[in-house]
Amino acid sequence: MDLLKEKIASKLPEYRERENRIKKDHSNFKVCDVTVDQIYSGIRGVMVQVSDVSYVDPNEGIRLRGYTVPELLEILPKQPGSKLPLAGGLYYLLMVDELPTPEEAAAVEAEWRKYAGVPDYVLAVIRAMPADTHPMTLFSQGILAMQRESRFSQEYAKGLIKNDYWESYLEDSVRLTAKLPSLAAYIYNHRYNGDKYIPPDPTLDWSANFAHMIGKSSDEDYKELCRLFFFLHSDHEGANVSAHASWLVASALSDVYLASSAGMDGLAGPLHGLANQECLRWLLGVRAHFGGIPTREALKDFLLEQLSKGAVIPGYGHAVLRITDPRFTAQLDFANQYLPDDDLISLVKTIYEVLPPLLIQTGKVKNPWPNVDAINGALQYHFGVTQYEFYTVLFGVSRILGLSTHAVWARAMNKPIERPKSLTTAILEEMIQGGNPS
């Protein structure tokens, strides 16, 4: 799309010059040391890539292109009559590194509308799968099936030059993201809604169209929830499992379809995106256990017992954050405004009061506070999207906004193929005996 292409092209010289200067003048500057403990604990805290799309500060939460969640909820352009950001404006901000005007946000939405349909052969792939296939598998498969549409792969085969790779990545990104609400809605309807097909409504924005396509056209509050959900889940810096998986795959010049599908496979893990499904299942289990909403005291005893058995409580903890996730807070604010009397939400709130001190008492949980997943399922459940197996697909629809932006910029900055190094236990033992500092 010309608008995004021109804007990115105008910023590239400055970005390339900054990176080239750092590489030329400071190539031996040591960013961090890697300890044995970090190697054995998931490369935790090792800074492995530079990506300017977003950054998670442990004590503040995510900043998307430098802006916090509350700031963006305030300043991003909105559809008339809506209080929540247009996804087109968010995508513009992520891609271009500049706040969009309402016209620029609308231009991205208009471009998405052109490509919103999902090819029939992709729908046939989904229909051909056994009925018990997880919706995230279908989502990843749907994206992978569309890979033959990749402009980058077609142009690369014809001899595209390196400096132009990013333009085809951008084209692929806009076309793929355009189709995600339709693909997700198709999977939802196929699995849970009598196999209905509801085409996108060209008068609606990208987020609200998802609500429309699962049969919730008249539910304006659910459309608002979709706008909030797709905004909040869009990116969480470049090195979490889904972002890094997708970045790594794209570093081999695999196109945006291949890289996004790989990212979704990472997101489908219960310690990452699938936690929203696990969290809702767990909340329903707690409610069923008590036959309703428990008192704080009864809940405290129950949670203590769970923790003493070694249970991991879904929706709590984070690999980087050390505060309540601002994305949790934004959803709690939404719940307080739109569904103040919902009993699952009051369970979420009681857990938020009772659980953190208990997690602190364990002495081992580094972050006792709720993450984004501690509440998002309860919100979907309230609006009748009760099939929690589907929740990670919603996360994926949004997250590909971020993953594809990282991929476009990685090509624009001519990032090389990634190839870190592994070593054997024997080599590590030799290094330790050889006296490397411990």
Catalytic residues, by residue number, are 272, 318, 373
Q: Please tell me whether residue 314 binds ligand AMX under the rule CB under 6 A.
A: yes
Minimum distance, C-beta of residue 231 to ligand AMX, in the bound complex (Å): 16
Rounded Cα distance, 338 and 335, in Å: 5
- 315 near ligand AMX, judged by CB under 6 A: yes
Residue 366 interacting with ligand AMX (CB under 6 A): yes
Distance CA 319, CA 310 (A): 18
The verdict on 364 binding ligand AMX (CB under 6 A) reads yes
174 binds ligand AMX (CB under 6 A): no
Q: Is 271 in the site for ligand AMX (CB under 6 A)?
A: yes
Closer of 85 and 370 to ligand AMX (Cβ): 370
Q: How many residues interact with ligand AMX (rule CB under 6 A)?
A: 19
Specify the residue, 43 or 365, whose C-beta has the smaller distance to ligand AMX: 365
Q: How far apart are the first and last CA of the chain?
A: 52
Structure tokens at 188: 């939802």
Q: H helices within 151-295, ranges in order?
A: 151-157, 165-192, 206-213, 220-232, 241-251, 256-267, 275-290
The residue number with the shortest CB distance to ligand AMX is: 317
The secondary structure of 125-150 as a DSSP string is HHHHS-TTS-HHHHHHHHHHHGGGG-
Q: Which of 43, 304, 312, 339 binds ligand AMX (CB under 6 A)?
A: 312
Instruction: Give the 3-state DSSP-derived string for 44-102, with helices as H, strands as E and coil as C.
Output: CCCCCCCCCCEEEECCCEEEECCEEHHHHHHHCCECCCCCCECHHHHHHHHHHCCCCCH
Q: Does 244 bind ligand AMX (CB under 6 A)?
A: no
User: How many helices and strands (H and E) does the chain possess?
Assistant: 20, 3
318 binds ligand AMX (CB under 6 A): yes
Among 53, 208, 250, 313, binds ligand AMX (CB under 6 A): 313
238 vs 314 by CB, closer to ligand AMX: 314
For ligand AMX, the closer of residues 167 and 325 by Cβ is 325
Smaller CB separation from ligand AMX, 62 or 185:
62
Tell me which residues touch ligand AMX (CB under 6 A).
271-273, 275, 312-319, 364-367, 371-373
